[in-house]
Amino acid sequence: MERFASTILRTLGDRKIFVAGAGRSGLVAKAFAMRLMHLGFSVHVVGETITPRMDPGDLLIVISGSGETLYPVTIAKQAKELGGILAVITSYPESTLGKLADLSLVIKGRVLPAAHTDYESRQIMGIHEPLTPLGTLFEISTLIFCDALISELASRLGKTEEDLARRHATLE
HSE-up of residue 172 (Cα within 13 Å, Cβ side)? 3
- Tell whether 171 is covered by a domain: no
Please calculate the CA angle 49-153-102 and round it to the nearest 5 degrees: 65
> Which CATH number characterizes residue 116's domain?
3.40.50.10490
Domain around 40: 2-166
38 lies in some domain: yes
Q: Catalytic residue among 48, 68, 129, 139, which?
A: 139
Residue 11 covered by a domain: yes
Distances (CA, A) of 146 to 82, 126, 171: 25, 31, 25
Least confident of 4-18, 25-39, 112-126: 112-126
Task: Show Cβ contacts of residue 55 under 8 Å, excluding neighbours closer than 6 positions.
Answer: 16, 82, 83
Quick check: 21 and 64 in contact, CB under 8 A? Answer: yes
The answer on pLDDT for 132 being more than 70 is no
pTM above 0.85, yes or no: yes
3-state DSSP call for residue 137? Answer: helix
Q: Is 139 a catalytic residue?
A: yes
For the chain, what is the domain count? 1
Give residue 76's pLDDT. 98
Q: 5 and 150 in contact (C-beta within 8 Å)? A: no
Q: Is the pLDDT of residue 35 over 60?
A: yes
**98 located within any domain:** yes
Q: What H or E segment, with its residue span, contains residue 20? A: strand 17-21
Among the residue ranges 97-101, 111-115, 121-125, 156-160, the one predicted with the least confidence is 111-115
